[in-house]
Amino acid sequence: MGIWSFWLFLGVGLLVIELFTVSTTCLYVGIGALAAMVAAFLGGEWMATIVTFLLTSFLLYALTYRWRHRIIRVLHKGGEQGATGMDALIGRSGKVFAASDSLRMKIDGDVWQVRPIDKETLLTPGEDVRVVGYDSIILEVEKLN
C-alpha cells in the first residue's frame, strides 16, 4: 500500500464521521486528506502530501467560514431541532399591557418588555401583537390585524 491509501482511509473516515457530527471540521479535514491522496497519486512524497493536506484544509475553512452555518444546515437536513431560548419566542402572540415605564406582554407566564419593530408604530395597551425579533432581552413586535 502506498501513501495514497493512508490519505484515502483518513479522508473517507473523516467524511463518514462528518455525517454524525454537527460541525464542518471533519468535512474540511476529510476533503484535505482526499486532496493529499491526489497529490500522492501524482507522485508526491510524504512532505508534499502533508503540505497539500494542511493547505487544502485551511483554505476550505478560511473560504467557507462566513457560510459555515448554512453549510451545516444543508449537511444536516432532517436533523433540525426546535428553536430554543429567545428564538423560541419568535412567532408567539399576545396582548400588550402597560407597566410603569414601558409596554410589556406575557408569554407562558413570563413578562417581557416589548417595542414595535417599526419605530413609527404606536402600541397601546390591549393590542394584539406578534413577536418578530428581539434585541437583547426586549422583544420586537408587530401589530396583528
> In whole angstroms, what separates CA 140 from the centre of its chain?
22
C-alpha count within 13 angstroms, C-beta hemisphere, residue 22: 4
- Tell me the pTM: 0.49
Tens of pLDDT along 33-42? 999 999 999 9
Q: Measured between alpha carbons, how far is 51 from 11 in angstroms, rounded to an integer?
A: 15
pLDDT at 63 over 90: no
Q: Domain 85-143 falls in which CATH fold? A: OB fold (Dihydrolipoamide Acetyltransferase, E2P) (2.40.50)
Domain boundaries for CATH 2.40.50.140 within the chain? 85-143
69-73 long-range Cβ contacts below 8 angstroms, 24+ apart: 71/24, 71/27, 72/22, 72/23, 72/24
Tens of pLDDT along 4-46? 899 999 999 999 988 887 667 788 899 999 999 999 999 889 9
Tens of pLDDT along 85-128? 788 888 899 999 987 788 999 988 889 999 998 888 888 889 99
